[in-house]
Structure 1
Amino acid sequence: MTAASRAPAPVVAPRLRGSGRVRPLDALRQTATLAWRSLVSIKHNPLELVDYSITPIMFVFLFTYVFGGQMAGSPEEYLRYALAGVIVQNTLFMTTYTAMSLNTDLTKGVFDRLRSLPIARSAPLFGRIAADLVKQLWAMLLMIALGVALGFRITGGLGGFLGATLMLLIFAAAVSWIAVLIGMLAGDAEKVQVFAFVLIFPITFTSSAFVRVETMPGWLQAWVHLNPVTHLSDAFRGLLLGDASSSSVLWTLAWAAGIVAVFMPLAMRAYRART
């Protein structure tokens, strides 16, 4: 027998299942599957549904009946102005859940388990963002339905309603990349909450979300006119009421594009570093 025949067969190292390149269509399908998994998991955690349902309802009642009489003379009149701002505020605060969920998944090793599967590396991240956008859509529809029940009227018609909804989701998707970056960098979920409140609370209440810009001090108005929450609130309100200005819509979309351009690369780099 020759030496060649006595040589053992070469051992081929097993290839990591999740290391292969995934086709774009497969990646999209995997993202949708993981998004659905996140949505279905609500039945195992009913408290999450409370956050996305009870909290928005509470905000609508609070701003309508506690502040309405003082701010506009009657709750109904203030609701016409403030409902858009309440929805925008709730949408921004809800992006905190994206950051907290990602941070918790990192801590529990969820991404390590998913990485061993033959799926796109970005699918868990995009699936989480997509699922949270669906939850935000639910909260927005719930708040608008409650607003209509309390006397708010969508005078902008179906087109205005659909335009307002689409624009809100576009901006929420953009802000989600800030949430992703915070979730990747924060040490734990508590730090995520601190970062979110430090960022979201000031820009929400120094905008036209709840009060008209002309009622503010002159030195503050300069910032309020630049604030992206002002443009989003004005555009969302205007589309619902049928008197939106093109400038507020364009500024909102420009801010969304700018946020994505800056924070998406940073968030993806942090995501790859952590996973």
Structure 2
Amino acid sequence: MPDAPYIFDVTQANFDQVVLEGSRERPVLVDFWAAWCQPCQMLMPVLAKLAAAYGGRFILAKINSDEQQALASRYGIRSLPTVMLFRHGKPVDQFMGVQPESTIRALLEKHLPRPSDKQRATAQAQLAAGDAEGALASLQAALAEDADNQAIKIDIARALMALGRADEADETLKTLPMDLHQEEEVQRLEALVQFARVAARGEELQKLEAQVEAGDNPEALHRVAAARILSEDYEAALSLLLRLMQKHRKYADEAGHKGLLAAFELLGAQHPLVKEYRRKMVSLLY
């Protein structure tokens, strides 16, 4: 039973129900604590106060790490207190040690349901169906009603990219708070935007492709490589960027080297092409 309407003592027996299944409906803040841990005793009233203040918008789950060692081990708990926020069945954020109420509120606000969520979902469906104009209109309306929801701006940038408006997408991403620029999702989108801004298209692409076949024109290598990225022909793109780096190292502020790094960001560190071309890039550097 909860010791307050939105606060639960969680054990191995009810973890799946309270935390994993519960987090599919609303965020669950999981506090790993122990009776001997003085910082835990300091943090617990702050968390309880927030649970009451938010009135059920999130659930607070308390796990005694000494008594529930299997759960602590399962989530790699190494110091106390450790607080994890679960959403849709998995941890999506966390902090360790005693934190001020304002910091915890900021973490919660990133993950709590918002009034604009339904509009975002509608816009995402429109974008997936190919209606980028409709998606953009829906997202702009959502942002007008919920100006603090930074995730809407990320969706707007995606819609603008789908419409071929890379410069506007770039300007939109620049308005995001600094911490969001560290998010993998945003970094990949930023990389895609930079390629879109230089990619050749249409007849111009055909002309530059002919120049690439005939020789090592740096502009042609750069802009055709960017076009290959946008068409998801990643191996061809990486090959052209490596060639640009090898033949014209200083071109456009080391566009070949920077383009490779951006492509690696876009594809992710575990992609086999990234591993292959990172080795090739390093061999050119040293």
Answer 1 or 2: which has greater helix percent: 1
Query: What is the TM-score with the length of structure 2 in the denominator?
Result: 0.27
Query: What is the TM-score with the length of structure 1 in the denominator?
Result: 0.28
Answer 1 or 2: which has greater strand percent: 2
